[in-house]
Amino acid sequence: MLASLTAAQTSTGVTFEDELRGLTDAAIHGEWTRLMALREQAKQTLGAQQVTDALVVAAAFNGITRVADATGIPLDSHTAAATQQMREETGIQRFSYLEKSARYDL
């Protein structure tokens, strides 16, 4: 289930997950024309307020992920201990700063 956070097809069971994924992906990839169409579609199912609020969250995390990535902030210790297996299973571990350095530093 958690793998759906890093994969395109699997399901988490979150209500209106497909709509939320489509809106989020288009928003963060800057696909504005596609996003406009998805917004209109999603208004029919989610509703206009929910569509707006999903994009409100997406915009916030487009900023705060950059804060985390630019400051190299470590996981909170409790989270680090509790999510070790999950990070491996979902592929999130490959985003760790050490692994990024190994991949991208010359």
Partner 1 sequence: MMYPEHLLLSSDLRQAHLKSWQAIGQAGDFFTGAERVAMVETARAAVSCDLCQRRKEALSPYSISGHHDGPQTLPEEIVDLIHRIRSDPGRLTKTWFDNVTANHISTQQYVEIVSVVTTSVIIDTLHQTLGLELPELPEPSAGEPRGQFNASAVDIGGWVPVLDAPQDLAHHGLPHVPNIARSMGLVPSAVELFFTAFRPHYSLSDIHLSISQAQAEFVAARVSSINECFY
Residues that bind partner 1 (CB under 8 A): 5-6, 12, 14-17, 20-21, 23-25, 27-30, 32, 35-36, 39, 47-50, 52-79, 82, 92, 95-97, 100-101, 103-106
At closest approach, how far in Å is the CB of 35 from partner 1? 6
User: Which residue type sits at 84?
Assistant: Q
Nearer to partner 1, 9 or 104 (CB): 104
Nearer to partner 1, 56 or 85 (CB): 56
∠ at Cα 13 (53, 89), nearest 5°?
105
- Which of 70-79 are b and which e, b meaning 16 or more Cβ less than 10 Å from the residue's Cβ? eeeeeeeeee
At closest approach, how far in Å is the CB of 100 from partner 1? 5
Instruction: For CA atoms 13, 81, 78, 88, give the dihedral sign.
Output: negative
At closest approach, how far in Å is the CB of 43 from partner 1? 11
